[in-house]
């Protein structure tokens, strides 16, 4: 009986297929954007090393923050459309609510 319960718990942690399919579609795009951000960060390091004008550096840091925010938005959209919806459908509204509030609090910072 214990083995069955452990199997159920491990199966419950597997994301729903819909979310997986969404992420497979988005994964390549997200990695591409992260590589662009990586290049932007290297550029920022170079700008600071080269004593580039402060406003120009700040402009680039804003671009990096916006890029990261776009990645977060994509991940959050997928999570809400699939994981949260599945949690609500299965009656686990407490987890769904908790996760939405957690992300909301993080985004406010």
Spans of all domains in the chain: 25-108
**pLDDT score recorded for residue 6:** 45
**pLDDT score recorded for residue 58:** 97
| pTM of full prediction above 0.75 | no
Any residues with CB less than 8 A from the CB of 36 and at least 6 apart, and which? Answer: 67
* 14 DSSP 8-state letter: S
Collapsing DSSP to helix, strand or coil, 17 comes out as helix
| Mean pLDDT split into 10-residue runs, the chain, 109 residues | 46 53 79 96 97 97 95 88 88 92 83
**pLDDT score recorded for residue 5:** 47
CATH superfamily of 25-108: Metal-sensitive repressor, helix protomer (1.20.58.1000)
**pLDDT score recorded for residue 55:** 97
């Amino acid at each position: 009986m214990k083995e069955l319960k452990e199997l159920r718990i491990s199966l419950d942690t597997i994301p729903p297929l819909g979310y997986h399919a969404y992420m497979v579609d988005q994964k390549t795009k997200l990695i591409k954007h992260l590589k662009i951000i990586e290049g932007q960060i290297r550029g920022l390091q170079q700008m600071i090393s080269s004593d580039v004008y402060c406003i120009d550096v700040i402009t680039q840091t804003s671009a990096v923050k916006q890029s990261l925010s776009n990645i977060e938005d994509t991940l959050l959209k997928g999570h809400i459309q699939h994981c949260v919806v599945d949690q609500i459908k299965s009656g686990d509204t407490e987890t769904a609510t908790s996760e939405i509030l957690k992300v909301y609090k993080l985004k406010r910072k």
